[in-house]
Amino acid sequence: MASDISSGGNSEFLAARRLFRANSSTAKEEIEVFVEDEVDSVFWRHFFAKYESNKLFKIRVLRCGNNELCGKDSLIKYVKIDSLGRNKLIAIDSDYDYIIDDYHPYTQDLRTCKYVIHTDNTYSIENFKIVPSILKDAIYLTSFCDQISEDIDAMVLETSQVFYNLFSIHLYSTYKKDNVYKQSDFKSDLSKLTYNNDRINENTYAYVSNRINSFKSYIDSNHLEYETFLSQLKSIGVESYNCWQFMKGHDVLDEVGVKIAASVSRKYRGQFFNWLNANVADPTRKENLLKKFNNSTRVADGIHQLKDRIREILYDIKPDFAWGPSINNDIQIAEIFQ
């Protein structure tokens, strides 16, 4: 990580340093990549791995004294966008910068600089962590079930569709900067999401419906502008089936991804416990099998411990490189080094 807030010169300077080394003809090309925090550094390294045969990536988090300068604002302040280039990059969460104009004072600068790598069609790296393929891995690793019969893709889709209208209203309020429906409010609404096996509970549907109705006068008074805004969202790819990708990553990971995986995993863990009680009579044998199961899944029986373990797994697993946004991030990076 960076030892201080200095970003080490512009891209051309960093590239030129290689020429002054004794082994300059064989040395790997050095690329400095500035990221928002330590967790992000691990995530982005997966995307750069394919280039490591002839490139050395130094993925850095800024520091000032003993404090990390985490977050996008710090990167933009201390790592100037006009200093970026092939050998000096920024890799960041998109937040709403690519779907809401002027979300930040520097939004347009981010959009026009090819050396600012951003999480494509997502809010942040956390959205990459809850694609169905990764949720399935978390379920298998915490339950050791033979097969997942639930349609995890359908569960994610249903959730996205149920919360689309509320999320759209939140985005519209964010666009207007009127604080009518803030991100913290939407997070609170998302926290009401519950599942019954592989379907959303009816009480969640009722809650969301009531919340949408509570914004009726707000939408009616801004009807034409709101409809135009919805059309703009759709034109850039924000739809009911994928809006979960654009929700704040930490919130959707906890309130959607972890809940889906925990709901399904809990079912299969219960099946194992039922089998154990029905088929193993010897108390010592039963205790040993239960201890082995808990140690292997790294979950002592309890929903809170299960959710913590799932959250840990989701952060540890590599991105699904067959997923659309991952493919697009690969393309974005490839265009820099072509």
Domain ranges of the chain: 11-126+332-337, 130-316
Q: Are 329 and 120 in contact (CB under 8 A)?
A: yes
DSSP-derived letter for residue 145 is: -
What does the angle CA 258 – CA 262 – CA 266 come to, to the nearest 5 degrees? 175
- Rounded distance, CA 122 to CA 30, Å? 28
What six digits make up the tokens of 16? 């030129």
Report which of 252, 101, 106, 258 is spatially closest to residue 183, judged by C-alpha positions. 252
* DSSP string for 105-124: TTHHHHHH-TTEEE-TTSSS
> For the whole model, what pTM was predicted?
0.91
- Cβ-proximal residues to 276 (8 Å cutoff; 6+ apart), any chain: 286, 289, 290, 293
For each of the chain's 338 residues, which pLDDT tens digit applies?
A: 444 444 556 656 555 555 555 566 678 899 999 999 999 999 999 999 999 999 999 999 987 766 666 789 989 999 999 999 999 999 999 999 999 999 999 999 999 999 999 999 999 999 999 999 999 999 999 999 999 999 999 999 999 999 999 999 999 999 999 999 999 999 999 999 999 989 999 999 999 999 999 999 999 999 999 999 999 999 999 999 999 999 999 999 999 999 999 999 999 999 999 999 999 999 999 999 999 999 999 998 676 799 999 999 999 999 999 999 999 999 999 999 98
CA–chain centroid gap for 137, Å, is 16
| Pairing state between β 116-118 and 29-35 | unpaired
What does the angle CA 47 – CA 44 – CA 183 come to, to the nearest 5 degrees? 125
